[in-house]
Amino acid sequence: MGFVRSFQEIMANTKTTADFYDAEMLSVFWETEPAIIERLLPPPLKPAATPVAMAFVANYPKTGFGVTYRESALFVSAEYKGVEGNYCLAMPVTDDMAMVYGREYYGYPKKMAEVHITQNSDNFAGWTQRRGYRFMEVQAKLTGKFNDPEAEKKLAQRVNKDGAFSGIAFTYRFFPGPNAELADYNPWLVRQETVFRPKTIKFGEAEITFHNSPFDPWAEVEVVKMLGAVYMVGDSSMLPGQSVTRVDPIQFAPYAFKGTDM
């Protein structure tokens, strides 16, 4: 394709979902301090009932948009008008097109990074590194049970009879103005749902370690109580996002730099 696309080319490349096939993902969950989540959430998001954080490392060997890559992410629980979901604080990726698609379409705060996930029998490990700092390491032993049995029960309740489940993410779409203004338009709060259809799913006991980095401050999301880990292999679909409300750019300014190293 050239610099200028025909209408036929545009329509042929238009997709309503972002689809992933045989994706491998290790997610870990922990409770953090309520005050930490309250400080990190931009308006109008509010803290959810339980102060839960989640991080994952993932490998996407095949996608519906022609890109293969690895990814990690950091989320904290949040609520908007009675709907609970997870606010995305960071999402490092290993491919530039995956970075562009997630950031510009959905508002995910993506950065280029090194992301690794390894397996040795039922022991899994992963790490994320940028600019010389390995700031997150995760380990899980797939024992079939969580660190916290009550958290395991709550998570199992979210799975449908066919094994599928979904999750809601909150992000913000905004762009700096070309005249050095903070925002070219009032930022949008975006709600985006992803449907997971695992072929393999295992629970386990987890550990996560954060190392200080001046560029990726994941260590701010303190671990108070480790809940457990979920390992999945399967297919998933990111549904179209919904721009639910605009945000005052001055109020949003303290939260506007997650996707940069400024």
pLDDT at residue 152 is higher than 90: no
In the chain, the amino acid numbered 199 is K
Residue-wise pLDDT tens digits, 22-42? 999 999 999 999 999 999 999
pLDDT at 175 > cutoff 90? no
SS3 35: helix
DSSP string covering 188-212, please?
EEEEEEEEEEEEEEEEEEEEEEE--
CA 81 to chain centre: 21
The more confident residue out of 120 and 136 is 136
Beta strands 52-60 and 69-80, pairing class: antiparallel
DSSP 187: P
**Is 90 exceeded by the pLDDT of residue 52?**
yes
User: Which residues have a Cβ under 8 Å from the Cβ of 248 and sit 6 or more positions away?
Assistant: 43, 186
Q: Using one digit for the tens of pLDDT, what is the confidence trace for 185-201?
A: 899 999 999 999 999 99
Q: Residue 37: its pLDDT value, please?
A: 98
Q: What is the pTM of this model?
A: 0.94
Q: Residue 11 — φ and ψ, nearest 5°?
A: -65, -35
**Tokens coding 124:** 């899994």
Residue 194 in contact with residue 237, Cβ under 8 Å? Answer: yes
pLDDT, one tens digit per residue, over 243-257 is 999 999 999 999 999
Q: What single-letter DSSP state applies at residue 104?
A: I
Question: Which CATH architecture best describes the domain 17-255?
Answer: Beta Barrel (2.40)
- Please say if the pLDDT value at position 1 is more than 80: no
- 94: its two tokens: 């290993």
Amino acid at 251: Q
What is the distance between the alpha carbons of residues 182 and 134, in angstroms, rounded to a whole number?
30
